[in-house]
Amino acid sequence: MPAWAVQLIAHHVRPKIMHNDQFVATAPPDRPPLTSGPSSLPVALTVNGSTHVVDLEPRVSLLDALREHLDLTGSKKGCDQGTCGACTVWVDGRRVLACLSLAVTCEGRSVTTIEGLAAGEELHPMQRAFIECDAFQCGYCTAGQIMSAVALLEEGNATTDAEIAESMSGNICRCAAYPNIRAAIREVRDAGEGGHRATA
Amino acid sequence: MRPLSYRRAAEIGEAVATVSTEPTSAFLAGGTTEVDLVRLGVARHDLLVDINDLPLADIENLPGGGLRIGALARMNDVARAAQVVEMYPGIAQALLLGASEQLRNMATMGGNLCQRVRCAYFRDNVSPCNKREPGTGCSALDGQNRGHAILGTSEHCIATHPSDVAVALVAFDAVVHTIGPSGARIIPIENFYLLPGRTPHIEHPLEHGELIVAIEVPPLPVARGSLYLKFRDRQSYEFALVSVLSALLVQDGRITEVRLALGGVGTTPWRARRAEAQLVGAPATAGSFAAAAAAELDAAVLHEHNAFKQELAQRAIVRGLDQAMVSAVHGGAR
Ligand SMILES: Cc1cc2nc3c(=O)[nH]c(=O)nc-3n(C[C@H](O)[C@H](O)[C@H](O)COP(=O)(O)OP(=O)(O)OC[C@H]3O[C@@H](n4cnc5c(N)ncnc54)[C@H](O)[C@@H]3O)c2cc1C
Ligand code: SF4
Ligand code: FES
Ligand code: FES
């Protein structure tokens, strides 16, 4: 594992960011009736445990809100069409695609990104396993792979390699690190550490 | 991406009233078709009405048997619901063989029924396409048409209907419950899908603003032994080249009941009625299966790159029926 690659993974472990355009609330907001747009409106997004209110047009995807407005650039934009999985995040604990979710629809929901996975400086076991198993090359798909992989272990459908492959098929890796990704998932599964979640 | 207005509906009546009075509005469920197509410029909606807070996500057993699946039930939740797995395994399999875990966590049953075609000319937003711009022609007829349909086509459109679960629902005679500006109604699922004919831009009998609230599947003993096979260019996360839903009841070596439907080959989720008619009463043998498959595909209209689907579909039917025999004979179909 080259040093730059280790750094690339470690980069996902920045301490929790509180870039908020306006203020940080503590309690997650509910979903009030709302009519808005097409101009921007304040949208309260709870990401990795903290709530940020950002001015967003309704057409802004959750992915763009995270990357462009909250400076959480761990989640990647591969296709913007739902076909690659690089943007995988959790909404209310379930893995979804941030590129096909409008940010405004996530009000009152709890969003978890790769930045919310580590406990402070301590990597999530899946992040560690990805490094140990050399489960990436360019790293572009990695955040999505890891978010999917942790969710997969929680879903409990990772008994066989075939199951892992099927359940991870929504995450494309153009470097084809698939065997090593599966190895990382097996490692965490077998160590029984899969359920650990820092924030969700 | 075009500017969008957004409204979060708290009640069914409000959602229906809003969409039916705004000509360029649409419902927003999981967004996996809608957000994609608005971003591509193919869907020209200016207002999305978010229906995710409506209480339409339940999966309930019906008093007389059968199942009511709320329009907002997510694909993954339906696929893994115990009643679905037990009573209609073909529905569960069709769902799990579609899209990816992430998409299935988002995508709803109502949205799935309404998903748009994956024809590249429809999606590119520039090529002539009768479905997107009525009257401009069909680029697929003489273009790249490997994925396109061979049954139910017209010279105006040959796009394949992409849904997997709709294939199972068509086989089981499901009905679609809606609430629209002129009230509630029930649409048998086969009538829910319109052949392209001269109007490929009209895909459903829904009025603008008519909301799907639920899908009901009738009690159907034969469905307990159903299965769904899907053949595609890669093993997972891909639409079907051909798929088949099959279910059989066999007594004394003869077929007493059969359900057969195809995906990937029709412009609508395709109930194989010709084959079914030929199979009822016939001996449950490979010979009957092959003859019925040939009869169904006899009507195929082939284009340059999709001719292979005729034989692939026939083989898929034979394999599907063959495998359904296992559950049919060994008590699965009771
Ligand atoms: C990469 C990719 C791969 C896919 N692979 C498959 C596959 O293999 N098999 C398969 O079957 N599908 C597949 N899909 C399609 C996916 O299943 C559909 O996009 C999804 O089911 C649509 O549901 P949704 O809730 O996201 O709908 P939305 O995108 O929210 O809505 C779709 C359309 O339906 C309308 N609508 C939604 N709900 C209702 C309602 N209750 N009443 C009336 N109208 C409504 C909307 O206005 C919109 O026009 C794939 C999609 C993607 C992006
Ligand atoms: S097949 Fe249908 S959707 Fe595709 S280009 Fe022709 S008209 Fe358009
Ligand atoms: S960027 Fe969301 S799936 Fe590719
Ligand atoms: S590591 Fe390069 S795309 Fe997966």
Please name the residue of chain B whose CA is at the shortest distance from the CA of residue A32: B8
Per-residue model confidence (pLDDT) at position B326: 87
Q: How many helices (H) and strands (E) does chain B have?
A: 13, 12
Give the CATH number of domain B222-330.
Answer: 3.30.390.50
Instruction: Provide the edge-to-edge strand list for the sheet that holds B25-28.
Output: A34-36, B5-8, B47-50, B25-28
Radius of gyration of chain A (CA): 17
Percent share of chain B, pLDDT over 70: 98
State yes or no: cis peptide before A33, omega within 30 of 0: no
| Chain A residues touching B6 at Cβ < 8 A | 34-37, 58, 102, 104
In this predicted structure, the answer to whether residue A28 has a pLDDT above a threshold of 80 is: no
User: How many beta carbons lie within 10 A of that of residue A33, not counting itself?
Assistant: 11
In this predicted structure, the answer to whether residue B44 has a pLDDT above a threshold of 80 is: yes
Please list, in sequence order, all residues whose beta carbon lies within 8 angstroms of the beta carbon of residue A87, skipping any fewer than 6 positions away: A63, A75, A76, A77, A78, A97, A98, A99, A144
Buried-state track B309-331, b at ≥16 Cβ within 10 A, e below 16: bbebbbebbbbbbebbbebbbee
In this predicted structure, the answer to whether residue B246 has a pLDDT above a threshold of 50 is: yes
For residue B41, how far is the Cα from the chain centroid?
A: 24
The Cα A80–Cα B35 span in angstroms is 10
Q: Output A105 or A200, whichever has higher pLDDT.
A: A105
User: Taking the complete model, does pTM exceed 0.90, yes or no?
Assistant: yes
Average pLDDT for chain B: 97
Question: Which listed ligand is nearest to A176 at the C-alpha?
Answer: 4
Q: How confident is the model at residue A168 (pLDDT cuts 50, 70, 90)?
A: very high
Domain map (residue ranges) of chain B? 222-330
The predicted-structure confidence for B108-162, as pLDDT tens digits, reads as follows 999 999 999 999 999 999 999 999 999 999 999 999 999 999 999 999 999 999 9
Q: Is A102 in contact with B31 (Cβ distance < 8 A)?
A: yes
Per-residue model confidence (pLDDT) at position A36: 85
Q: Is B4 in contact with A57 (Cβ distance < 8 A)?
A: yes
User: What six digits make up the tokens of B182?
Assistant: 């002129």
| Chain A residues touching B10 at Cβ < 8 A | 33
The Cα B195–Cα A114 span in angstroms is 45
Please name the residue of chain B whose CA is at the shortest distance from the CA of residue A30: B53
User: How many beta carbons lie within 10 A of that of residue A16, not counting itself?
Assistant: 15
In this predicted structure, the answer to whether residue A22 has a pLDDT above a threshold of 70 is: no
User: How many beta carbons lie within 10 A of that of residue A26, not counting itself?
Assistant: 8
From the CA of A133, how far away is ligand 4's center (Å)? 14
Domain annotation for chain A: domains and CATH numbers? 41-116 (3.10.20.30), 125-191 (1.10.150.120)
The beta strands (E) that lie in B34-145 are given as 47-50, 59-61, 67-70
Candidates B5, B39, B53; nearest CB to A58? B5
Average pLDDT for chain A: 86
Q: Output A145 or A2, whichever has higher pLDDT.
A: A145
In this predicted structure, the answer to whether residue A197 has a pLDDT above a threshold of 90 is: no
DSSP label at residue A98: G
Nearest CA to ligand 1 atom 46: B27
> What interface predicted TM-score (ipTM) does this complex get?
0.96
User: How many beta carbons lie within 10 A of that of residue A120, not counting itself?
Assistant: 9
